[in-house]
Amino acid sequence: MDLIHKSAMTIASATQGNPVIATFVVIMFVLGIQMLEVTVEQLIWGERFEHWLDVVIIAASIAYAAYVVYACALFNSGR
C-alpha cells in the first residue's frame, strides 16, 4: 500500500496538485498498458481478443485514478 501511496503522491507533485492533469497521466499509463497487451496478444496468437483481464485492468485504473485525485487533495492541503 505504501508503494501505491508513494506513486500517487509522485504523480500529484509532478502535476502540481492538478487533478485533471493527474487523471490524464493515469489514463495515458492505462493506454500504454493496453497497447502493450494488444501487441503481445497479436505477436503470440495473431489476433487481439477481449477477456476478463481487460475488465480488471480498467477497474484497477479507475480506482487508482480516484486515489491519485485524493493524493492531489493531500498535496494541495500541504500534507
Give me the DSSP letters along 23-60: HHHHHHHHHHHHHHHHHHHHHHHSS----HHHHHHHHH
Amino acid letter, residue 53: L
Per-residue confidence (pLDDT) for residue 39, from 0 to 100:
92
What is the torsional sign of CA 8, 4, 29, 53? negative
Q: What is the pLDDT of residue 68?
A: 98
| Residues in the chain, total | 79
Question: What pLDDT, on the 0 to 100 scale, is given for residue 53?
Answer: 83
Measured distance CA(31)–CA(45) in Å, rounded: 21
Q: What's the domain range around 45?
A: 2-77
Count structural domains, the chain: 1
What does the pLDDT look like over 6-63, one tens digit per residue?
A: 999 999 999 999 999 999 999 999 999 999 988 998 999 888 777 888 889 899 999 9
Better-predicted residue by pLDDT, 38 or 65: 65
